[in-house]
Amino acid sequence: MAFHIYNTLTRKKELFEPVEPNKVKMYLCGPTVYDFFHIGNARPLIMFDVLRRYLRYRGFDVRYVVNITDIDDKIINKAIAQNRTASEVATEFTRAYFQDIDKLGIERPDLSPRATDFMRDIINTIQQLIDRGFAYELDGDVYYEVEKFVGYGKLSGKNINELQAGARVDVDDRKRSPMDFAVWKSSKPGEPWWESPWGKGRPGWHIECSVMSSKLLGGTFDIHAGGVDLIFPHHENEIAQAEGASDCPFVHYWMHNGFLNIEGEKMSKSLGNFFTTREILAKYPAEVLRMFFLLKHYRSPINFSEERILESQQALERIVETLKNIDLILADFQDVGAATDETIANQKAALIDAMDDDFNTASAMGTLFELVKSANLIIAENNFTKENIVTLKAIRELLVDVNEFFGIIPDKSSGTFGTDESFYLDMLTEIRRELRDARQWGMADTIRDRLQSIGIELEDRKDKSIWKRNFNKK
RNA sequence: GGCGGCGUAGCCAAGUGGCUAAGGCGGAGGUCUGCAAAACCUCUAUUCAUCGGUUCGACUCCGAUCGCCGCCUCCA
């Protein structure tokens, strides 16, 4: 199967055919940097990071852009509230954003353009919209005239007339239609501004994405992604702007991830169920968080709770544990030759099929656990024929292989200790082993208890003891 | 009101017009072990919200009903 994705624009699953063969140009609506990003924001960042890596794994040359909106009402409001400049606020949270995505194991996008670095392009695009009759100026503001764009509503399935009926009463009745939206806002005293043909002002919310994505990815690009809530008005408006300004189709495939809820309710500050990704990362490893998202299809709503996270953690540990056990066994069987195993190859094909079918990570995970099960069966039977060793090796290679895009297996399966700590822990474990061989149970148990108290679990296996960081209670 | 989505075991969650409805968590047994812990193995839905219809056959297609949710306003 070739890669298929569900396209919001057509509401169908479609075969993915890039504009340029073997190249994928994709854009994700990134953060508005006015605060730490929350656990709901983490979903698209993680999922589309996995998609990007998966497409690369499948042989595409991927160019991935995630913008940073660093000028916006929310930033200005925060700056005013804290008596700082908007740019200070934006700088602080841009830095925090990069720290957080690094911690999440998200690969840096190829480009992370900031809106304020594209002011000239934004102004040019607005001028084009005016020249082409899609936008009009009103006392220093510029509005997009929705009615002028025939395709308006094609992404969200909204009908202009119905929208009009339900539109809120706009304070600004100078607009030709209540639906018209600002592409340029004149600056009020104390607000940041840029010089423009319409006076001092700043861009409206949607224009920066249209401009940066078109500019950096070319006239028509392949994938534009974001949360479902962005379909309207943000992405609808992006289309109107980009296609109004240029004539060529904006984007081929629109992908939207489902919402994250907290204990069944929408996350909001007023409900007091608001979590930043930082807070969660302080309690759980990034790999667990990635696992949590990967266990469900990206388009479904997902419910966030500690219980779900703990489940994901248990599930992930099953994989990590098996990998470790395979390694312990393979260490005794060098040079088994090429690891070709037909059954495992079929499993791999099934996993790839699942991923190709609208990026079904939940199904792919199911296959992964089947592999884990077959490895565990071999290990449980203690039947290390050459054939079985080859199978174990093949499973190991596959797990490591797909981790290239899943990013769920910690670098050192034993935990986050550096080589120094590992050295001493190995030594202690060895000494304790000798004590046990000498039947000095008291001392052996003391070592076990003491290590336990600093978060290290000891496991006594048949012929060796191993230590691991206690993943759970951090 | 308009648009869209969802309802699968105790919980989470894939999936399919027809061979045994993936997988995970939890639970119950068991193996291993100096004792533990951990780990592993086995078992855990005659059934897919309800009621009709289409069909040789539906959980999967169609219709209705009930329930839940999202968007239409800033929001990933």
Q: How far is the CA of A378 from the C1' of B58 (A)?
A: 39
Q: Which nucleotide is nearest to A296 (CA to C1')?
A: B13
- Quote the CA–CA distance of A154 and A168 in Å, as a whole number: 21
A426-473 pLDDT tens trace: 888 888 988 888 888 888 889 888 888 887 888 888 777 888 776 544
A380-398 pLDDT tens trace: 888 888 889 999 999 999 9
More confident residue, A315 or A162: A315
- Quote the CA–CA distance of A1 and A353 in Å, as a whole number: 6
Mean pLDDT to the nearest integer, A18-30: 96
Check residue A166 and give its pLDDT: 47
Domain extent for A439: 419-469
* CATH number of the structural domain spanning residue A316: 1.20.120.640
pLDDT class of A415 with cuts at 50, 70, 90: very low
pLDDT class of A267 with cuts at 50, 70, 90: confident
Question: What ipTM does the predicted assembly reach?
Answer: 0.94
Whether residue A370 sits in one domain with residue A322: yes
Check residue A471 and give its pLDDT: 54
Check residue A419 and give its pLDDT: 58
* A372, amino acid identity: V
More confident residue, A162 or A171: A162
* CATH number of the structural domain spanning residue A97: 3.40.50.620
More confident residue, A452 or A183: A183
Q: How many domains does chain A have?
A: 3
Check residue A163 and give its pLDDT: 63
Q: How far is the CA of A229 from the C1' of B74 (A)?
A: 11
Q: How far is the CA of A299 from the C1' of B51 (A)?
A: 30
Percent share of chain A, pLDDT over 70: 92
Whether residue A17 sits in one domain with residue A112: yes
Residue nearest to nucleotide B26 (CA to C1'): A311
Whether residue A104 sits in one domain with residue A23: yes
| R_g of chain A, CA atoms, integer Å | 27
More confident residue, A163 or A176: A176
Measured to protein CB atoms, the chain B nucleotides within 7 Å are: 1-6, 11-15, 22-26, 32-42, 69-76
Whether residue A254 sits in one domain with residue A117: yes
Whether residue A110 sits in one domain with residue A24: yes
Domain termination residue (choose one: A379, A406, A433): A406
Residue the block writes with tokens 């940066």: A212
- Quote the CA–CA distance of A59 and A467 in Å, as a whole number: 38
- What b/e readout covers A400-412, taking b as 16+ CB neighbours within 10 angstroms? eebbebbbbbbee
Whether residue A340 sits in one domain with residue A233: no
Q: Is A96 left (phi over 0), alpha (psi -120 to 50) or beta?
A: alpha
Residue the block writes with tokens 């390694």: A327
C-beta separation of A259 from A229 below 8 A = yes
Q: What is the mean pLDDT of chain A?
A: 89
Which residues neighbour A241 within 8 Å (Cβ) at sequence distance 6 or greater?
A125, A129, A134, A144, A183, A206, A207, A210, A211
Q: How far is the CA of A339 from the C1' of B61 (A)?
A: 44
Whether residue A226 sits in one domain with residue A112: yes
Whether residue A401 sits in one domain with residue A375: yes
Whether residue A312 sits in one domain with residue A232: no
- Quote the CA–CA distance of A179 and A175 in Å, as a whole number: 8
End-to-end CA distance of chain A, in Å? 42
Structure tokens of A170?
């706009």
Whether residue A369 sits in one domain with residue A454: no
Q: Which nucleotide is nearest to A262 (CA to C1')?
A: B69
Check residue A170 and give its pLDDT: 46
In a domain, A184, yes or no: no
Check residue A19 and give its pLDDT: 95
Q: Which nucleotide is nearest to A40 (CA to C1')?
A: B76
In a domain, A453, yes or no: yes
Residues β-bridged to residue A261: A266, A303
In a domain, A292, yes or no: no
Could you count the other beta carbons within 10 Å of the beta carbon of residue A295? 17
